[in-house]
Structure 1
């Protein structure tokens, strides 16, 4: 037993930023979008999960690869292209961070609301309840980040992802042997000629497995780990850590799609647009698969997963913005010396998010749709910046990707640009 325990501990200690990546990725794209895809189209979009992971893989890998090659985060690679590249990233981040943070936070709030029975809180409307719970979630996140930051994130994510993975895999296996089988009630198949289906596909793939900017966050977390440990992680270790997280999120996306397909596809029941109602339906899927005993375990796993996503995003936005400002104007913004810049942007992110939630919030599903579609359209821009940074001649030759990876990047960029243009034309 001691040998197995040591092996597991040794394996987990090798994982850090890769699991932070997984903690940020496994959230709305998996619990919401993947289960919804399965409930609407069965297994039709399973292949889409595989394809989008293949298309985006190089651009996600370049984050940790750049840090392993240079010891610095990939924002320094952007700077080598010119300050314009930093400004592009900075403006895109500031323009989208409030809606992205709001979309993730309101899903987390929905889980809190349902699990703790807060639907009738103060007699307010469901939208106001969601906004109030969201504000409490963000205050808790602020407290944790202001006191712990990277070390705290690193420790939390390992436990959270492990619990969710075990419960989700167990639920899928149980359903494969005993599922409701609603197919006699009539089913809908994905139709490439149906505009509504294509619009859903864009929203589904926008955050699958995550928005491309997560590659920058991954690189920043990798740099933070190097600073904490006082050494630069080797290329072999960095890529192993990344691939475990990347492959794991792909597998979990397929698990959630399978849950939606086996429990709700053809049942005539659609997922509710509200956060609390959606959370109830999601958790009932696990209860139906595993029994009442599993409800508290799955509820904790789902809640902690979404909370970890909220936490990691809330850390990533101010951290990367403050680093970007330091690169553009190092004398004015000294991020590593003056930590108050991080706190200021943390407060700005929270204030902007709460403004959306209290004054402009539509339904949870609409907010998620807007955030994911923005990520879908913007993906080629950040993918191009990552490619240019990674193939820069300043990267040491042994660490620079080869011709095969370059061809992979060109193919992926072509696909992403074509999809973005096609979506805009369809709109």
Structure 2
């Protein structure tokens, strides 16, 4: 009997794993491939503190998603509704206000990587429309296991290639002369705007805590196993810590290969994608081009796919709550309808902004950062409320980290707002 217990615990752990890797797949996209690499290329190691601190201070608010789901058997959206109708209303407004820009930015980056990888003609808008259509077709059946089964290898391959490239670049030494490079002040007008954009999706928007809670419940429904709190948190930590390590890796890669070289990243999307892939080939060799191009595209496509699954899920759930019809929260027809509406509106946003690649990215990430303090506060209120059993609520260390995170996120949001008003 005792020999069976470790086996049973291992089986339960394996059944619980999955949502954390989905979170990692959603995270390792724009925030890592684009923003962290730009930070290293433009500022060297000058913004390493921002990457480390925002990963630290966002941690509790994102961890509260799987914590709440495992402790209560409900999603955070149900928790917001029980906490206050206004709480869910705030999340609804923020989701509608950001999801089209987010989806447009992801589609644009993925489209430009596809153009760079294949060398085929076509405008980024046309490629973005095709990729969004393909993603919607894959998800049309509402199958969680399509996501769960696909992301594991994608994340593992890109992570391995990135870490190898960073080590190779470190062995070769910086491409530029760091000692003679003038220090770039992040507290300038442009610097503050970029820091906010960098931290907006680093490692992922706080909205994703609610996505994670839905994925946790969907994984439990798929496997027939309800995860324990410890297993749900372990699954989250594996994905989250991995994304944090890779964020630092991308920043180091940009710094080692491009900082102080007088070769800034292009604002043109296709040219940017080629420069991004070139970071790897400069350190690993020309042979790596098809491998890295394929990995980068696949990573971005997995992010596009994962986020396109998340937005219809949360919107469907909230529509069901507001309408007083719980059956809508799992209605496949509503999910499919949203799979058509959200990409269509995102393409309109993309069409409106045209080919301004970095403008599109910075807009989406900045919107996410400015909503972060309020969503963080809602998550903290939720997991410290009576809805969560006392033994599942965060301990003193997590509470103090949450309060410090609220101060950090609010302070930078106010700095940015003040700069926009007074600048």
Match of 2:291 among 282, 293, 297: 297
Q: 1:157–1:308: 8 Å Cα contact kept in structure 2?
A: yes
Q: 1:185–1:266: 8 Å Cα contact kept in structure 2?
A: no
Aligned positions of 1:255-404 closer than 5 A: 255-331=249-325, 334-336=328-330, 338-404=331-397
Q: Which runs of 5+ in 1 are unaligned?
A: 1-7, 122-128
Describe the SS at the equivalent of 2:46.
coil
Partner of 1:171: 165
Report the CA distance between 1:10 and its aligned residue.
10
Q: Which runs of 5+ in 2 are unaligned?
A: 1-9
Classify 1:332/1:81 alpha carbon distance in 2 versus 1 (closer, same or farther; 3 Å).
closer
Q: Distance in 1 between matches of 2:129 and 2:221?
A: 32
Q: 1:217–1:320: 8 Å Cα contact kept in structure 2?
A: yes
Q: Which moved more, 1:178-187 or 1:98-107?
A: 178-187
Q: Distance in 2 between matches of 1:205 and 1:192?
A: 13
Partner of 1:134: 128
Report the CA distance between 1:332 and its aligned residue.
7.6
RMSD: 1.8
Describe the SS at the equivalent of 2:99.
helix
Q: Distance in 1 between matches of 2:14 and 2:363?
A: 36
After superposition, give the CA deviation of every residue in 1:332-390 in whole Å (9 maximum; x if it has no partner). 86222x31111111111011011122343341110001011111111011101111111
Aligned positions of 1:40-119 closer than 5 A: 40-118=42-120
Report the CA distance between 1:185 and its aligned residue.
8.9
Partner of 1:414: 407
Q: 1:79–1:86: 8 Å Cα contact kept in structure 2?
A: yes
Q: Distance in 1 between matches of 2:295 and 2:55?
A: 24
Q: 2:16–2:225: 8 Å Cα contact kept in structure 1?
A: no
Describe the SS at the equivalent of 2:328.
coil
Q: Distance in 2 between matches of 1:173 and 1:401?
A: 37
Q: 1:90–1:324: 8 Å Cα contact kept in structure 2?
A: yes
After superposition, give the CA deviation of every residue in 1:200-220 in whole Å (9 maximum; x if it has no partner). 111111111111101111111
May I ask how many residue pairs the two structures share in their alignment? Answer: 411
Report the CA distance between 1:402 and its aligned residue.
2.0
Report the CA distance between 1:13 and its aligned residue.
6.1
Question: What TM-score, normalized to structure 1?
Answer: 0.93
Q: 1:131–1:358: 8 Å Cα contact kept in structure 2?
A: yes
Report the CA distance between 1:83 and its aligned residue.
1.4
Q: Distance in 2 between matches of 1:291 and 1:213?
A: 39
